[in-house]
Amino acid sequence: MMPPQSNQWFALMIGNSRQHWALFTGEHLSRTWHLPLEDSPGSLGKAYSDLPCWGASVGAQSIRQVHPNAVELTLADIPIPQMYSTLGIDRALALWGALQIYGAPVCVVDGGTALTLTLADDRGAFAGGVILPGVGLMARALADYTAALPHVTLSPEPPPRWGTSTPAAIASGLYYGTAAILQAYLVAFFEAYPQGRVIVTGGDRPFLGELFKTFLDADRWRADDHLAFWGIRALRSPTAKIEVNS
């Protein structure tokens, strides 16, 4: 890694299971890391541990426990009208990032530990959302809370609809069940907002993207792994020209 430059800074989003770091050079996203919760910025390289940092955390771990000089963002910093007071900061930052890049109306589908849908209406105001167990969490729950069902790791490829073994039956339920849930919600989204866009993000984004291909036209949705980082960038530099990185 090259030595840090004077205009470099970190965006940090601490999730339920990992730390998500982005190194920016000015407004340009240079690199990302996804680290275990217990790691420190020292694992990114000693020279980088003193860079400025902006971010937020969804759990009990404050970002200042990870980066003592970080600017910790709260829901009050995000200028989206009509948000409720307990809305997750990760969902709000992702929605704010989506609004900056893709405009309104928009539905952010975030496939993490939880599977969430978060909406902004055609005025850019918060318009509600949905929280479901994530695909991985559903798979673990079946293995952990039943006597004989195994843990199944899903492939993005569609499994047979009617499983002829226990693992195949679980794979079918996770795949087609998740697809049916998402299709029902997104049909309702497009009925309410015909010009809306769906943006999918999160660790399960590759899997969810394959599901979307089965029922959504390609021009209705887009994958973007960096929505929360775009949201943090926009709050740090509200007058900056927005640049979408590939």
pLDDT digits (tens, 9 = 90+) for 43-80: 565 556 788 999 999 987 788 888 888 899 999 999 99
Residue 218 lies in a domain: yes
pLDDT, average across residues 166-192: 95
In this predicted structure, what is the pLDDT of residue 48? 67
**Has residue 241 got a pLDDT over 60?**
no
Do the domain assignments include residue 236? no
Among 90, 110, 204, 224, the active-site one is 90
Q: pTM for the whole thing? A: 0.89
pLDDT mean across residues, the chain: 89
- Host domain of residue 194: 81-227
Q: How many domains does the chain have?
A: 2
> Are 55 and 147 within one domain?
no
Q: Are 66 and 85 found together in one domain?
A: no
Residue 67 sits in the same domain as residue 85: no
Asked if residues 34 and 15 have their Cβ atoms less than 8 Å apart, the reply is no
| Rounded Cα distance, 244 and 246, in Å | 7
Of 42, 72, 102, the residue at which a domain comes to its end is: 72
Q: What's the rounded Cα separation, in Å, for the pair 1 and 79?
A: 35
- Beta carbons within 8 Å of 85's beta carbon, 6+ residues apart: 75
In the structure, what pLDDT confidence band is assigned to residue 242 with cuts at 50, 70 and 90? Answer: very low
Q: Is residue 1 part of a domain?
A: no
Q: What number of other Cβ atoms are within 10 A of residue 75's Cβ?
A: 17
pLDDT of residue 197: 96
Q: Are residues 85 and 49 in the same domain?
A: no
169 in the same domain as 50 = no
Identify whether 190 is part of a domain.
yes
User: Domain holding 37: CATH number?
Assistant: 3.30.420.40
- Model confidence at 239: pLDDT above 60: no
Q: In sequence order, what E strands does 159-212 have?
A: 197-201
90 is catalytic: yes
Residue 232: phi and psi, rounded to 5, are -65, -45
